[in-house]
Chain A
Amino acid sequence: MISPLAKAKSPQALRESIKTTERTRTFVEAVREATDEEMGLDPNVVLFGLDVDDPKAIQGTTQGLVEKYGAERVFGTPLSEDAMTGAAIGMALAGLRPIHVHIRMDFLLLAVNQLLNVAAKSRYTYGGRVNVPLVVRAMIGKSWGQGAQHSQGLHSFFMHVPGIKVVAPSTPYDAKGCLTAAIRDDDPVLYVEHRLLHFQKGPVPTESYTVEPGKARIAVAGDDVTIVGISYMQVEALRAAKYLEDVGIRAEVIDPIWLNPLDTDTIAESVRRTGRLLVVDTGWTNCGAAAEIVSRVAERLQGERAFRFKRMGFAPTTCPTTPGLEDLFYPNARTVAAAARDLVEGRACNWLPTERADLRSIEFKGPF
Chain B
Amino acid sequence: MHARLFRSLYRIRRVEEEVARVYATDKIKSPVHLSIGQEAVSVGVCDALRADDVVFGTYRGHALYLAKGGDMNAMVAELYGKVTGCTRGKGGSMHLIDTECGVMGTSAVVGTTIANAAGYAYSLKLRRSDAVVVCFFGDGATEEGVFAETLNFAVLKRLPLLFVCENNGYAIHTSQAKRQGLPDICARARAYGMPAERLDGNDVLTLRDKAESAIAKLRAGEGPQFIEATTYRWREHVGPGADYHLGYREKSECAPWEENDAVRVLAEQIPTEQRAVIEAAVEREITTAFEFAETSPFPHPSELMTDIFTEDANDFAACQS
Contacts and interface: CB of A to CB of B under 8 A. Distances in A.
Interface residues of A, number: 42
Nearest to A162: B308
Nearest to A79: B149
Interface of A: 46, 72-73, 77-78, 80, 82-96, 98, 113-114, 117-118, 122-131, 162-163, 165, 185-187
Nearest to A187: B309
A104 B199 CA distance: 43
A131 to B, nearest CB: 6
30 contacts: A46-B126, A72-B126, A73-B126, A83-B150, A83-B153, A87-B150, A88-B119, A90-B116, A91-B122, A93-B120, A113-B112, A122-B105, A124-B307, A124-B308, A125-B90, A126-B87, A126-B91, A127-B316, A128-B317, A129-B87, A129-B99, A129-B316, A130-B97, A131-B310, A131-B319, A162-B308, A163-B309, A165-B309, A185-B310, A186-B310
B320 A94 contact: yes
B114 interface: yes
B124 interface: yes
A118 B153 contact: no
Contacts of A162: 308
B163 to A, nearest CB: 13
Nearest to A72: B126
Nearest to A260: B309
A3 B11 CA distance: 47
Given A90-B119, A93-B116, 12 more contacts: A80-B150, A82-B145, A83-B118, A90-B56, A90-B117, A90-B123, A123-B307, A125-B90, A126-B105, A129-B97, A130-B319, A165-B309
B170 to A, nearest CB: 22
A128 B307 contact: yes
Give the one of B86, B153, B308 with max A CB within 10 A.
Answer: B308
A89 B56 CA distance: 12
Contacts of B116: 86-87, 89-90, 93, 118
Contacts of B54: 94
Contacts, number: 153
A185 B313 CA distance: 14
Contacts of A123: 307-310
From A46, A84, A163, residue with most partner B Cβ within 10 Å? A84
Nearest to A91: B119
Contacts of A83: 114-115, 118, 146, 149-150, 152-153
A77 B123 CA distance: 15
A361 B168 CA distance: 60
A94 B124 contact: yes
Interface of B: 54, 56, 85-91, 95, 97, 99, 104-105, 107, 109, 112-124, 126, 145-146, 149-150, 152-153, 156, 306-310, 313, 315-317, 319-321
A125 to B, nearest CB: 5
A90 B146 contact: no
A45 to B, nearest CB: 11
Contact of A86 (B104, B115, B313): B115
A31 B90 CA distance: 37
A95 to B, nearest CB: 4
Contacts of A90: 56, 104, 115-123
Nearest to B88: A127
Contacts of B145: 82
A185 to B, nearest CB: 8
A87 B119 contact: yes
A165 B312 CA distance: 14
Contact of B306 (A93, A94, A125, A128): A128
Given A94-B320, A127-B307, A86 B150 contact: yes
Contacts of B316: 127-129
A331 B229 CA distance: 57
Nearest to B109: A117
A285 B319 CA distance: 40
Contacts of A185: 310
Contacts of A129: 87, 97, 99, 316, 319
A82 B310 contact: no
Nearest to B307: A128
B105 A93 contact: yes
A72 B127 CA distance: 10
Contacts of B85: 127
B146 A93 contact: no
B119 A93 contact: yes
B104 A93 contact: yes
A122 B97 CA distance: 10
Nearest to A120: B308
Contacts of B105: 93, 122, 126, 130
